[in-house]
């Protein structure tokens, strides 16, 4: 079954309006701040959880399958359904949104972090052990630095995905720019409100991704030189 939406162009309801931006600048900035804050906190929490899980999967290979499987199952749950399931237990505050965002970010991070650690050449690990490095010393001095490109890739993917998923938080009243998009649809399809919020979502994702690329180049200068 297909549905066709049709409406006549309304010159009084443009898809973008500087007047709307000027009149609602405080509301727009508040939505951007909430969106960026939720994204940053969710990604940080996900990194703090995903990195230990990835190290466990790297050290104890039989655990890799179950860890990836559990995070993969969570990722298959539709976002609206996940927030609706969490809300009765945690309420309709930012905690509900953060829990959902972290759960979705874990798969992208763990998968890429484990892949990055597994790409460390075995002979490098053997050389480190021959030099007297223990498990922890090898992890912090050899494995993690060499796995940084894969780790950063996972963080980048999770960050861009989280920016998009924050908008679903409108279901519990904390959707950042998603609040404006939802309000635009409720307000007789207020196009300027919808388009402004959508463009800012895209801009936020692009800016955060570029920042992570810059950080990656700063912390892994050897990979940049190798690419040249």
What confidence tens digit (pLDDT) does each residue in 65-80 have?
898 888 888 888 888 7
Q: What is the pLDDT of residue 206?
A: 95
Residue 5 has pLDDT above 60, yes or no: no
Q: What is the pLDDT of residue 228?
A: 53
Q: What is the pLDDT of residue 6?
A: 35
CA distance 2 to 115: 42
Mean pLDDT for all residues in the chain: 83
The more confident residue out of 41 and 136 is 41
Q: What is the pLDDT of residue 154?
A: 92
The more confident residue out of 19 and 224 is 19
Q: What is the pLDDT of residue 173?
A: 76
- Could you read off the pLDDT of 6-22 as tens digits, one per residue? 334 455 676 777 887 88
Centre a 10 Å sphere on the Cβ of residue 24 and count the other Cβ atoms it contains. Answer: 17
Q: What is the pLDDT of residue 7?
A: 37
CA distances from 189 to 15, 60, 65 (A): 10, 53, 46
DSSP the chain: ----------TTS-S--HHHHHHTHHHHHHHHHHHHHHHHHHHHHHHHHHHHHHHHHHHSGGGHHHHHHHHHHHHTS-HHHHHHHHHHHH-SSHHHHHHHHHHHHHHHHHHHHHHHHHTS-HHHHHHHHHTT--HHHHIIIIIHHHHHHHHHHHHHHHHHHHHHHHGGGGGGT--THHHHHHHHHHTT--HHHHHHHHHHHHHHHHHHHHHHHHHHHHH-HHHHHHH-
Please report which confidence band the pLDDT of residue 93 belongs to, taking 50, 70 and 90 as the band edges: confident
Residue 226 has pLDDT above 70, yes or no: no
Least reliable range by pLDDT among 95-109, 143-157, 183-197: 183-197
Q: Which residues contact 171 (CB under 8 A, 6 or more apart)?
A: 80, 83, 84, 87
Q: Which residues contact 143 (CB under 8 A, 6 or more apart)?
A: 58, 117, 120, 125
Mean pLDDT of 184-193: 76
pTM of structure: 0.84
Least reliable range by pLDDT among 115-124, 154-163, 180-189: 180-189
Maximum pairwise Cα distance, the chain: 74
CA distance 150 to 221: 14
Q: Is 82 exposed, middle or buried (0-12, 13-18, 19+ CB in 10 A)?
A: buried
CA distance 190 to 99: 31
Residue 225 has pLDDT above 80, yes or no: no
Q: What is the pLDDT of residue 28?
A: 87
Q: Which CATH code for domain 27-219?
A: 1.10.3720.10
Q: What is the pLDDT of residue 221?
A: 66
Residue 59 has pLDDT above 50, yes or no: yes
């Amino acid at each position: 079954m297909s549905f066709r939406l049709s409406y006549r162009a309304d010159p009084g309801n443009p898809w973008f309006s500087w007047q709307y931006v000027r009149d609602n600048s405080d509301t727009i900035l508040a939505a951007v701040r909430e969106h960026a804050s939720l994204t940053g906190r969710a990604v940080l929490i996900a990194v703090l959880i995903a990195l230990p899980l990835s190290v466990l999967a790297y050290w104890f290979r039989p655990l890799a399958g179950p860890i990836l499987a559990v995070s993969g199952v969570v990722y298959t749950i539709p976002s609206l359904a996940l927030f609706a399931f969490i809300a009765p237990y945690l309420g309709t505050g930012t905690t509900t949104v953060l829990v959902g965002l972290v759960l979705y970010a874990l798969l992208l991070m763990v998968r890429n972090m484990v892949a990055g650690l597994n790409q460390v050449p075995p002979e490098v690990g053997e050389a480190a052990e021959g030099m007297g490095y223990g498990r922890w010393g090898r992890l912090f001095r050899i494995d993690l630095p060499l796995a940084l490109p894969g780790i950063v890739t996972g963080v980048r993917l999770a960050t861009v995905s989280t920016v998009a998923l924050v908008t679903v938080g409108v279901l519990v009243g904390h959707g950042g720019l998603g609040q404006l998009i939802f309000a635009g649809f409720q307000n007789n399809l207020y196009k300027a409100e919808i388009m402004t919020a959508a463009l800012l979502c895209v801009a936020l994702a692009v800016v955060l991704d570029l920042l992570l690329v810059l950080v990656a180049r700063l912390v892994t200068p050897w990979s940049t030189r190798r690419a040249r």
